[in-house]
Structure 1
Amino acid sequence: ALLADYPWMLALVLFFASMLLYSQGATTVALMPAALAIGVAPLTAVASFAAVSALFVLPTYPTLLAAVEMDDTGSTRIGKYVFNHPFFVPGVVTIASAVALGFAFGGLLI
């Protein structure tokens, strides 16, 4: 009932799950069938799918760490707080925009 009233909550669930699972595929396989089984609309599932890309949130993903290490200028670094790295804000804004556009244009396509 909660997802029926607030369909954007599925995007939050997918965001936090992929952040902890470090895998877009594992997040999708684990949660999308369950979401569809409890009656989430296909539009909501498709629009929220971009949220499984939250692998960058915790600064432990290998490509994020490699990018920080390869920066010769020193401008890309991880701060003293967990969520204080240069990929956080652009990544969250991009995912939020993709989910919002998915909901906006999904009704036209589905």
Structure 2
Amino acid sequence: MIVKLQRKTTRYSDLTYGQYYAVIGIEADDFRLLNDRGQPYLYPSQLFEIVDPSEPEDWITEFGEDGERYAYPPRLYACGFFEDFFDAKKEAVVTFWQVVNQRLGTAKVSASSSS
């Protein structure tokens, strides 16, 4: 899934207006993506226009009690994975970058959608 930041916002200064971002996961309907500082943070989905809605077929998707969506690649779906990543636990960091580099290598914005 590729999204584009719809408007400037001072609250999220680590994102650039008009920039395209590859969504690497969805958590409680928020998008996890690499911000301009290369950090995988969560952002409200309302900030973005979906440019390409296609998602990898292997994502695991579940819904919470209130219908909120959770979706990640299998290797990033483990409970506590991102806590381990931000705690700089080697296995989580290595796994994260392997998965993200693979995904970003296949993410594309078509010429027709970038205008």
Structure whose residues are more often strand by fraction: 2
In the superposition, the TM-score normalised over structure 1's length comes to 0.36
TM-score, scaled relative to structure 2: 0.35
Larger Rg: 1
Structure with the greater relative contact order (CA < 8 A, sep ≥ 6): 1 or 2? Answer: 1
